[in-house]
Amino acid sequence: IISKLPQTGTTIFTVMSALANEVGAINLSQGFPDFDTSPELIKLVNTAMKKGHNQYAPMPGVQSLRERIAEKTEKLYGAVYNPDTEITITAGGTQAIFTAITAVINPNDEVIIFEPAFDCYAPAIKLMGGIVKSLELEPPDYRIPWDMVKRLINSKTRMIILNSPHNPTATILHKEDIDELSALVKNQDILILSDEVYEHLIYDGETHHSMARYPELQQRSFIVASFGKPFHATGWKVGYCMAPAFLMSEFRKIHQFLVFSVNAPLQYAIAAYLKDENTYLSLPEFFEKKRDYFRKGLEQTKFKLLPCSGSYFQSVTFDDITNEKDSDFSLRLTKEFGVAAIPTSAFYTKGTDHHVLRFCFAKRQETLDKAVERLLKI
Ligand code: GLN
């Protein structure tokens, strides 16, 4: 066969988690909590199953869940989405991203992405015959150089992919970024794919600048969100996409033949759970405590901390420890010291190595303690 993705290997998340399991390391690589989702939410799943919600959900998702999402979005960001035509429940954020890209990218369309970038963007673009135009961001701040974005834009530019709070760098978009972006896309035929799966994990009282807040951006955006991250249930693989009807109708043409519909009882359960806004409004405080605790621990080690404004990732540099490549060091760290992290060069097309590792701090305090104890031995 002729490979459709000759440059693509196995995703770094699978590689590092498998290695962590194999050698019994503390797994701070792939992003997922090591504590359970709420018992109340599990009860709601049971109730949904007992009530007989065990057959296909409607293709776009369970109505009540789409309604709760519309309410939440209006309350938080002021945007009105029609649950019937503008919101679709997906099998996680990754499916939403793949579906949005495949729905609108044609051969030779150019898509601008910012690296380090979550690893599912580029393969989907390439599969559609699109061209990935990547711009590399620099630590420690990873700010988007808008003048360079401007230079990349031409008549073939079809989409810009944004991600805030950002995985892996834990940075967030600021109002100035929004202003620059708005000026750039004004009167241009450019769509936005906004990966906002960490929308509720934002710290220090900062604002999440969802595309939904800005009508001129909202009307050209696919916004992707997730329930796995906020509700500590990454294994459920339930997320959603919101977009204006003219985009969502194309999205659903693909969605219906990719997965048809998503796990029904989980959707009923999440819809009921979302009635209490505290389920997501409490998250910044919950994760900020973990962030601060983990940072304090890391400060005792030879690693140097990068800023963390959102997401559940903390990045560090390791120049005072070794000049190995980040990929080599992350393997050695896992095998010799028993802590797994993600080497961030995996998120650059060119494998650019800034000697930055990403740790996930969505873990119990005792796990973070144990990890720091091991990292202190370096
Ligand atoms: N989003 C998670 C992370 O960044 C993992 C996603 C995945 O494994 N596909 O670690």
- The string of pLDDT tens digits covering residues 297-353 is 999 999 999 999 999 999 999 999 999 999 999 999 999 999 999 999 999 999 999
Using the mean position of ligand 1's atoms as its centre, give its distance from the Cα of residue 154 in Å. 32
Q: Model confidence at 45, in pLDDT bands (50, 70, 90)?
A: very high
Residue 27: predicted pLDDT: 98
Task: Classify 20 as helix, strand or coil.
Answer: helix
- Cross-strand pairs, 143: none
pLDDT given at position 331: 98
Q: How far is ligand 1, taken at its centre, from the CA of residue 16, in Å?
A: 11
Overall average pLDDT of the 238-254 stretch: 98
The answer to whether residue 4 sits within a structural domain is no
Average pLDDT over residues 45-57: 98
- Angle, helix 63-77 to helix 264-273, in steps of 10 degrees: 40
Pair (209, 286) in one structural domain:
no
Q: Is residue 1 included in any domain, yes or no?
A: no
ipTM of the complex: 0.95
370 and 339 in one domain?
Answer: yes
Same-domain status, 179 and 323 = no
Same-domain status, 273 and 288: no
User: Measuring from atom 3 of ligand 1, which residue has the nearest CA?
Assistant: 31
* List of residues 6+ apart from 280 with CB closer than 8 A: 72, 200, 230, 274
44 CA distance to ligand 1 centroid (A)? Answer: 26
Nearest to 194 by CA among 318, 363, 73: 73
Ligand 1 atom at minimum distance from 14 CA = 8
**CA distances, 269 to each of 41, 71, 96, 195, 263 (Å):** 7, 17, 20, 24, 11
The answer on 59 and 181 residing in a single domain is: yes
328: domain range? Answer: 12-30+282-375
Q: Compute, in angstroms, the gap from residue 151 CA to the centroid of ligand 1.
A: 31
Please provide the average confidence, as pLDDT, over all residues in the chain. 98
No. of H helices and E strands in the chain?
14, 13
Sequence letter at residue 293: Y
Instruction: For residue range 130-188, list pLDDT tens digits in order.
Output: 999 999 999 999 999 999 999 999 999 999 999 999 999 999 999 999 999 999 999 99
- Please state, in angstroms and as integers, the Cα–Cα distance from residue 67 to each residue in 84, 256, 340, following that order: 9, 20, 40
Question: Is the beta carbon of 210 within 6 A of some atom in ligand 1?
Answer: no
Residue 360 lies in a domain: yes
